[in-house]
């Protein structure tokens, strides 16, 4: 993992975040966490990278507290972002997913409602909303959202990967 990023003259947060995403997709959780930790060190105000760090950490036994801490930090950063730009539809649906991962289902439901009021037709957000609904125990709604995303061109492979990762 380190070779790919260290070969660049100056590693960037984006390079580490991209590496972390690739490692996450390959289910190499420990390596993904290392990459996301490097990204957050270089860009500490990036909510998405903190959220990815928390999501990856959830898969590593013994890392639950650190994963929760990263997700809580991601939530705080995203809420600040949404205070500045309350019409950021993707921000609301991403926030909902993190809140659901933290067991804060009522808040997740509120965030999903905000997303839906702004832009419910973006297929990527629709798929994330579907997975979030399923995590909240709203299975029929989640399946409906996932089916809708697929019918609008969302990748079946991505949907399967999201569903698999959401089981953490």
For the stretch 64-104, pLDDT in tens is 999 999 999 999 999 999 999 999 999 999 999 999 999 99
pLDDT given for residue 158 in this prediction: 75
Residues of the chain under the 50 pLDDT cut: 6, 168
How far apart CA 125 and CA 131 sit, in angstroms, is 10
Q: Are the C-beta atoms of residues 74 and 68 closer than 8 Å to each other?
A: no
E strands along 5-150, which residues? none
Tell me what pLDDT residue 120 has.
87
Give pLDDT, residue 164: 54
User: Rounded distance, CA 98 to CA 67, Å?
Assistant: 11
């Amino acid at each position: 993992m380190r070779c790919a990023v260290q070969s660049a003259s100056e590693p960037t947060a984006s390079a580490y975040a991209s590496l972390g995403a690739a490692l996450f997709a390959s289910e190499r959780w420990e390596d993904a966490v290392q990459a996301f930790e490097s990204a957050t060190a270089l860009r500490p105000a990036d909510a998405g990278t903190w959220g990815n760090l928390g999501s990856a950490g959830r898969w590593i036994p013994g890392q639950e507290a650190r994963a929760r801490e990263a997700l809580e930090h991601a939530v705080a950063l995203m809420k600040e972002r949404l205070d500045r730009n309350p019409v950021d539809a993707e921000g609301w649906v991403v926030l909902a997913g993190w809140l659901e991962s933290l067991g804060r289902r009522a808040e997740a439901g509120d965030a999903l409602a905000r997303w839906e009021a702004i832009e419910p037709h973006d297929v990527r957000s629709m798929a994330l909303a579907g997975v979030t609904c399923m995590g909240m125990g709203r299975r029929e709604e989640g399946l409906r959202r996932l089916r809708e995303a697929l019918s609008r061109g969302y990748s079946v492979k991505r949907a399967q990967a999201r569903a698999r990762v959401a089981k953490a």
